[in-house]
Structure formats: structure tokens, C-alpha cells
Structure 1
Amino acid sequence: MSSGSLDLEDLPGVGPTTADKLREAGYATVESIATASPADLAEAAEIGESSAKKVIKAARELADIGGFKTGIAVLEDRKEVKKLKTFVPEFDELLGGGLETKSISEVYGEFGSGKSQIAHQMAVNAYLAEEFGGLGGSCVYIDTENTFRPERIEQMVRGLEVEGYDVPPFEEFLEHIHVAKGYTSDHQMLLVESARDLANELKETEYPVRLIVVDSLTAHFRAEYAGRGTLSVRQQKLNRHMYDLAKLAEEHNAVVLVTNQVQSNPGVFFGDPTKPIGGNIVGHAAKFRLYLRKSKGGRRIAKLVDSPNLPEGEAAFVVEEGGLKP
């Protein structure tokens, strides 16, 4: 039984009222309960600790987590991972072949460093068949800063240069990019649930969801939770949001690409004073972190800051009307 289709009500001893309390406290999935501590769960659901232990035990069995796998089994799982190319050779090399499915990749940088340009380009490339460097699928685009432009997609489609590939009309690409505007942080989190429903709907079709873009991840959280006093609440919600995105990537073998803003760190006297918003929560959840900065002559530099298996490095690219180019 796939944990994606499980409801909290499937757990023994969890009725509709308890389920609602759990969801309100942020326990929206069976997995989140399976990994909760009995004390936290008891408090959230207003049940005794022994009842909470039983619920957690049942959740672990249902969600099928907590067991060990051999390295060989993990290697087999890794064979399902696909790569989404940027078509800038140095950039793809930096990423070990492209953006990886089943993972969250984060690009952060100052205003105008090319974050949304990369998001648009990936939305185009994801539609291409796998043999041409794409993922042969649809894209879900959660737009929180009103940056998505269909005209930009049209320009990028016209600018595609893929050997042996007959580029279809740009409308065909737009047909498979599903855009939703996020108006608040809560709405943004809700859209991930809607994205899951859409991905389940399209799973067996010719173009399943293979790319989820959140542009930008932190804008609403940053605006709504200003000041030190609200930091822990913000980080908890961000953690929940990242967890949901990571699960979506895993369930649908999709790339999750999030853009992030930066803030200046006044304590830094040498080197670059900018650092991404969201702190360790975002840092740990994003498997690949790319820092973008502007360079001379309209060039952009992408620096791989963090990755589980790739060395740090840099790649230069330019943003032209036809998209990202070497």
C-alpha cells in the first residue's frame, strides 16, 4: 500500500476529530506521525501517551518505514533517478548531468541573478523526451512573486537548439505547464497538496508531472514572519513545507526546483556577505544548492555550494532572449 494514498483515519484509534486535531498541529501524513515522538503526538491530539505510542506503532507499520535496506537495494533505487538538462554543458557538468529527480534543488541569489530564468528554462526542458535531455513530462509551477511569464516560455521554446529534435509549437509546451499563484505562506503550502492531487491524476498519462517549481520558496514566509519573535513558527512551517515537497519529489520521481532570496550578513567582513533565507531548515532539505551571481558582460556564475555526491565548482552562463546559453 503506498503511503501517498493513506489517510490519518486509516490508523486504528484515530477518528475524524482526532485526525483534524493532528492535521491542525501539522501532522498531515501517516509518515509524519510515524516519525513523531509520543509526547508531542499526545499533546497535539489530546490523547494519553500510551494511546499515542499505539498510533505511532501502527503508523510505522502502515507507512513501511524504519526498516533497513542493503546498499544494493539502495543502488537499485538510485537507478530510477533521472537528470534534467539545462543545455549549458558546463552547467550540466557541474550538476553531474543535470538536475536530479527525487531531490530538491535550490537556486538562490540576489534580484536579477537569473533564478526565475532558470525556473522558466527548466519548465520548458522538462517537456522534452528523455532521449533529448528532458523528462518527458509536465511541470507544476507555484508562482509566489508573480514572475511567471508565458511570453518568456515562448521565447525559450523558439530558442531551443537540440540536435535531432523537431521543436513543436510553444503552445504545446504551455499546455503542460500548470501554474498556480500562491498568495500567502499557508496558501503556498496548500498548493503543494493540490500539486499532489494533480500529479496523481496525471500519473498514468503520457505526460506525468516530472518537475515542481516553487518561485520563490521564502518570499511569503519572510514577509509574514518578520522579527525574531516569529522565527521558530516560521521555521516549523518551512520545515513542514520542505518535507511535503521532498515527499512529492520521491513519490513521483520528479525534480523539485525552488528559488530562494538572500539576505546580507553584516558580520562578514571578507568574502561574500549574502546568505540564503530559511537557514538550516532549507539548507538540510535541499540536496543541491546553487548560488547565482552576476558577473562581467552580462554573464552569470552558478556555484554549487552543497551536494551529497558532487564536488563544489562553478559554471558560467548567459541569459539571452532564447534562454540559458553557454
Structure 2
Amino acid sequence: MPVPVNDESRAGTPPGEEIDFDEPQWDMIDELQSHVHFHARTRFNSLTVFHTRESTLKISPSSRLKEGICTVSAVRMTSRRNLLKIKGMSEAKVEKIKEAAQKILGSSFQTGVQVADKRKRVLQISTGSKSVDGMLGGGFMSQSISEVYGEFRTGKTQLAHTLSVIAQLPPEMGGASGKVTYIDTEGTFRPDRIRAIADRFGVDPEQTLENITYARAYNSEHQMELIQEAGIRFAEEKNFRLLIVDSIMALFRTDYSGRGELSERQQKLAQMLAKLCKLSEEFNIVVLLTNQVQGEFRRIPGRQWRLLQRSSRSVGISYLMRRPHASCCAKASDPRLFPKWFSNLVSWIRIGRGEERVAKLVDSPERPESEGSYKLDEGGWADV
């Protein structure tokens, strides 16, 4: 039976166009549901959601987590090469799935007006500090990735806790009225801190904790699996608004410790950042990554390597290889080899005078380089 398509559901669809689920390509999707593991039937906004039919699934849970293909948009975002890696998929099957996804979603091209309308859906989550919010233009934005890095005691994890509470508040209070997914790579998540921050904003601490989906990652592969699983949760529950990874590089540094493994580490990290970028755009969520800075070693001719100074460059890889304050991702052998995944901003935080901490906006496509101040107290990030 034909199902009418909402005029606002996607760009490139003429008003009143219908999709007939009895057409042949749907028979192919029915046949291949054991591989793609979800079956398309319902539309919301710009996404077509797949509803699970557990009684007919043949793919193992571990394989579903590995692939993480939960929506038709995800099919479009996944390359044919990666679809072919799914057990049981052939080139012919992949092409038919791609054709079905193209028919559902229509053209990828949009007018500038349609892009502007899409930008109206962008959400902002306050940091808890008016000064830092002003620097960011209102807070951390959805449909993009934001990285915050700095030395210890600058409040990176405290920012993650603060955002975990504020994200659940209504928009008039700086929130996004949504749930939170928190991936912890260092074991620093503390429920008591969430309770204290919830008290500051006058919300129920236990309900606040209930709205946070927490997972502890133990290696970089596990970290990627958790991100894939988060994507499945986002497709099944539409009210997630924040994904936190604290911190993005900690496990990569332990899993890939030698210089000989640097290339492989960069590739794995690039894949993870690409996945996070797709999730942020597809599900309209804020993605926050925390990271550390590193010491800068240089060799003086005729002498041994020595630590000259504490660098403001963060650990990781980036297209900003030799620039001061480079982003999480600032250590590629050739800056041109790694794309700029941080479509929102990169912020460096440092200790100021007394209780003051200073956040500096280093790179953003919308905002100029600037600074904002904040302090850390029982209620998280706050005004000085």
C-alpha cells in the first residue's frame, strides 16, 4: 500500500510523491534483512527508520554491533566497499540496496534555502558559563563535532559532567530536552558529581542519572563498538541529544604505543571520527570529545632528546600538524592526509589566576578566535 511522504521529510522530493512498498526493491530489502538487520517502514523528519523484526533475524548481535547500519541514511553514508565486508553480501545485493536507498531518499543535492532550513534544526547546549557560551555563540552545537583539550585540572571531565545535566534541561535553560550517551575511556565518570550539578539546576538527581546511558570502554576496538551501538540506540530512541567521549585518545595511546604503529592508529582514529561525524549529522546530536595536551620533545644537536616545554598541542592527529594549539587530532606525518572532521570547533582550556580557568576558541567555521573564562565549583562549570 502506498505510503505518502511528508513534504518536509527530505530534499528533492516533489510534493505529494508516494513510495510504493510493494515495488520490487522492497522485496530485495525483505530478502536481505538478515544482512542489513532492519526493515524500513516508518519515516520521521529526514530519516527513514528501520524497525527490527527479531523473530526473523539471523545475523548475530556482535555482527549487528560491528556494522551499525540502522537507517536508510546510514546505507547511503556507508561505502559499497564496507557493505561488501558484511557477511553474505555480494556486489549485486549491495547495488540493489543502494538503489533502494536512493529511491527513498532522493537526490543529495539541495538548494541553499533547504540547507538554511536544515540549519534551523541545530541545537545548542550551554556550558554553564555565560562567558564561554558567548565565545561559542550560545553553546556547543549539534550536527557537528566539538573537541575540548587542555592540561589536567582544567575541568575537561567536569565539563562533560556539566553538559550531561544541562543537555536534559529545556531550551530556555540552555539545554536540548534530551538524553545523553557517555562513553568513558578513563573511568572518571562520577554519579555523585551528576547529583551535585543536578541540584544546582533544581532537577531530580536520580531522574537525571536515569537519562544518562553510560559505558566504560577498555580498548580502542571496544570504544568503536560502543560508538556503533550508540548509533543503534539513536535510531531506536529519538530523544538522544548529546554523545560524550571522555577522552578520545586515551585508549589509542595504550593500544598503539610505538612509532611503527602510528600509521595504523591514525587510520583507526580517522574511521572513528568519520563515524562520529555521520552520527552527529544523521541524528542531530551534539558530539563532545575531550583530550589531553602533550609535552613537546626536541633534540638539540649533539645532545639527547629533552622535554623543552609543555605544549598546547593536543594528543592525536590533525590537518593542523605544526600549528600551535592544534586539535585532537594533531600528529599526522602529512597534514594533507587527514581531513578536518571537527566541523564545529576546537577549544583549548588552561588555568588562569586563582579559581579562574580560560577557554580559547581555536578553530571554528562560524566564530572568530576568542576567549572566555569560567570556574569549577560543586555545580560544575560556572561564571567566575
TM-score by length of 2: 0.68
| Residues 174 and 57 of structure 1: CA distance in aligned 2, closer, same or farther (over 3 Å) | closer
Kindly indicate whether the alpha-carbon contact (under 8 Å) linking 1:83 and 1:98 is maintained by their aligned counterparts in 2. Answer: yes
What's the offset of the Cα at 1:84? 0.7
Q: Distance in 1 between matches of 2:152 and 2:94?
A: 48
Q: Distance in 1 between matches of 2:291 and 2:106?
A: 31
What's the offset of the Cα at 1:60? 7.8
1:93 alignment counterpart: 134
The answer for unaligned runs of 5 or more in structure 2 is: 11-27, 36-58, 300-306, 320-327, 330-339
2:256 alignment counterpart: 225
Q: Distance in 1 between matches of 2:273 and 2:104?
A: 19
Which structure carries more strand by proportion? 2
How many residues get paired?
Answer: 304
CA RMSD of superposed structures (Å): 3.6
The structure 2 residue matched to 1:279, chosen from 302, 317, 324, is: 317
Q: Distance in 1 between matches of 2:206 and 2:78?
A: 46
- Give the 5 Å matches for 1:186-201: 186-201=221-236
- Give the 5 Å matches for 1:131-150: 131-150=172-191
What's the offset of the Cα at 1:301? 0.8
| Residues 27 and 169 of structure 1: CA distance in aligned 2, closer, same or farther (over 3 Å) | closer
Question: Which amino acid letter does the alignment assign opposite residue 365 of structure 2?
Answer: P
Which structure carries more helix by proportion? 1
- Give the 5 Å matches for 1:1-326: 10=29, 58=99, 61=102, 64=105, 67-160=108-201, 167-203=202-238, 208-267=239-298, 273-280=311-318, 283=329, 284-286=340-342, 287-326=344-383
Highest Rg: 1 or 2?
2
Question: Which amino acid letter does the alignment assign opposite residue 143 of structure 1?
Answer: D
Kindly indicate whether the alpha-carbon contact (under 8 Å) linking 1:33 and 1:59 is maintained by their aligned counterparts in 2. Answer: no
What's the offset of the Cα at 1:251? 2.1
What's the offset of the Cα at 1:76? 0.8
Deviations 1:131-189 (A, max 9, x none): 221111111100110010010111112223xxxxxx23211211111111011111111
Which of 1 and 2 has higher RCO (CA within 8 Å, sep 6+)?
Answer: 1
Q: Which secondary structure does the structure 2 equivalent of 1:275 belong to?
A: strand
Kindly indicate whether the alpha-carbon contact (under 8 Å) linking 2:298 and 2:308 is maintained by their aligned counterparts in 1. Answer: no
Question: Which amino acid letter does the alignment assign opposite residue 209 of structure 1?
Answer: F
The answer for unaligned runs of 5 or more in structure 1 is: 4-8, 161-166
Q: Distance in 2 between matches of 1:56 and 1:232?
A: 33
Q: Distance in 1 between matches of 2:77 and 2:167?
A: 33
Q: Which secondary structure does the structure 2 equivalent of 1:266 belong to?
A: strand
Q: Distance in 2 between matches of 1:252 and 1:123?
A: 17
Kindly indicate whether the alpha-carbon contact (under 8 Å) linking 1:90 and 1:316 is maintained by their aligned counterparts in 2. Answer: yes
Kindly indicate whether the alpha-carbon contact (under 8 Å) linking 2:75 and 2:98 is maintained by their aligned counterparts in 1. Answer: no
What's the offset of the Cα at 1:292? 0.9
| Residues 60 and 263 of structure 1: CA distance in aligned 2, closer, same or farther (over 3 Å) | farther
1:163 alignment counterpart: none
| Residues 31 and 232 of structure 1: CA distance in aligned 2, closer, same or farther (over 3 Å) | farther
Q: Which secondary structure does the structure 2 equivalent of 1:308 belong to?
A: coil
Q: Distance in 1 between matches of 2:234 and 2:94?
A: 33
TM-score by length of 1: 0.79
Question: Which amino acid letter does the alignment assign opposite residue 168 of structure 1?
Answer: V
Identical-residue share of aligned pairs (%): 38
- Single out whichever of 226-235 and 147-156 deviates more from structure 2: 226-235
